[in-house]
Structure 1
Amino acid sequence: MSERVVPPAARRRRRPTKQGVVLSEKLIVETALRLIEEHGADALSVRRLGRALGADPSSLYRYFRHTDDLMLAIADELIGRTMSIWRPTGDWCADLRDLGLRMHAGALAHPRAAVLSSYRVTGRVHEIQAVETALGVLRDAGFPDAEAVRIYHAFVDQALAFGALDSANVSLPRPAREAEAEIWRATYARLPADTHPHIAATARHLVASMRGSAYPAALDLLLTAAATRLSEIRAAADG
């Protein structure tokens, strides 16, 4: 899609497409997301998307100005899907852990889209809701505003980074993934102790751990550090 602005009032099309489908932003986003997951980033073209929708490609400009505008909508859709299944309990640490794990799982459910959208800031409704909610969890826990933002920043960037990293791995062809996983057993686990004492000493743990994602462990480390910081803040307030 190239830059081509259509006034908001003129964007909605109520007539059905050639396939009898009435276009909407939601339908376009869901179709684009499916195409990306099935065919990769190159599938996100106005021509291919129009064909999948059974619509004239030019009609898509009623909803999105260009491909990047659509990409932001896809990123926001992924955020919205995560937020729709997350329910806070009032335990800030447990709630953020659950949210982080759901964000990571959501990325792995749509790995190709997650790789493309993990570094984007959408400014759209679902992202705004997520930022507001996460900051509320931290502020309600007792973090001062500056600390709440600092921890939120680390939390969300960690989740997005691991989501992109692990999604990129999941997107590799299966033989490539299996070959990389096998390196830990076939290469690292066989290094001799006289030349690589630390690898040799921890080899069985490397084989067991390095094939999976480090995100749960990294998330726990971050939340433990945040809890320690909150204890310090409370102690300073009491003192």
Structure 2
Amino acid sequence: MKLLLTSGGVTNASIRDALVELLGKPVEESTALCIPTAMYGHPMVGPGERAWQFISGTSQNPMVDLGWRSVGVLELTALPSIDEDLWVPLVREADALLVAGGDVLYLSHWMRESGLVDLLPSLGDTVWVGLSAGSMVMTPHVGKDFIQWRPPSGDETTLGVVDFSICPHLAADGMPGNSRAEAEEWATGVPNPAYAMDDQTAITVVDGEVDVVSEGQWIQLRGVGGSA
């Protein structure tokens, strides 16, 4: 699987160019499934109007509204109750998975419960386009500052597809988001390499190679990451 891990979505030309490179063809010739699941677990974003905005491509985070040839919805909480033949082929056929932000542990839990996580190693050409929590779920640890909902198992780890952590929404002091000082403090609580990035920045990971794509600000807080 190819990863495009964003803080705020496909917010500028550089990130869109990176997406096209990962797809290997124009967005207009590509198919996508959007995954809103993380939103339902977060009190500030869903369920309700903002989940619909993400699915309908009318949110402030460019993901669904990029001009895809087709877009479908993959709701992870529904998958354990339906036959795999109804959804696994859809995932395998999609060029991209567009994964909303929200509560990262809620998303991680339902990726495991649904069986989607077991499919990931076989999706070599698929592009995972993460937004905030949709990016952080691929890391091994998110740090206590980003934990709200906890799974019944008590497991606070995320998927560990990459070996670095992400602090999204880096912002100047006094602006909405996470300040540099807050990001640096957060990094002391994660035991692995870490990045903080603003909404004009993304990280690509392909075959273990990590690249930062940015028209904004980002900080490498500890070490150098890669893919698992």
After TM superposition, the score normalised by the length of structure 1 is 0.26
| Greater fraction strand | 2
The structure whose Rg is larger is: 1
After TM superposition, the score normalised by the length of structure 2 is 0.27
Q: Structure with the greater relative contact order (CA < 8 A, sep ≥ 6): 1 or 2?
A: 2
